[in-house]
Amino acid sequence: MSRLAGALRELFGLFLEDGSLTVGILICVAGAMLVTHRGVMTPPWRGPLFVAGLAIVLLENVRRTARK
């Protein structure tokens, strides 16, 4: 049982090792859902805006990690 718990802990750590990155990605996904649901933006710009948001979150996380 302890091996299974250890394996699950490792798997969980792979996805949620950095909490701020996870929160940033969830915010981007929620923002994309709102924009899509409300029809705020024309369809050709939704994808690039989502990718740009994810890139900004990733770059900020890499910058912060490199500073440590």
At residue 29, the pLDDT reads 93
pLDDT beyond 90 at 51: yes
The model's pLDDT over 17-37, given as tens digits with 9 standing for 90+, comes to 778 888 899 999 999 888 888
Question: How many residues does the structure list for the chain?
Answer: 68
Residues 6+ apart with CB under 8 A from 57: 21, 24, 25, 27, 28
* Region for residue 39 given its phi and psi (left: phi exceeds 0; alpha: psi -120 to 50; beta: otherwise): left
State the pLDDT confidence band at 10, using cuts at 50, 70 and 90. Answer: confident
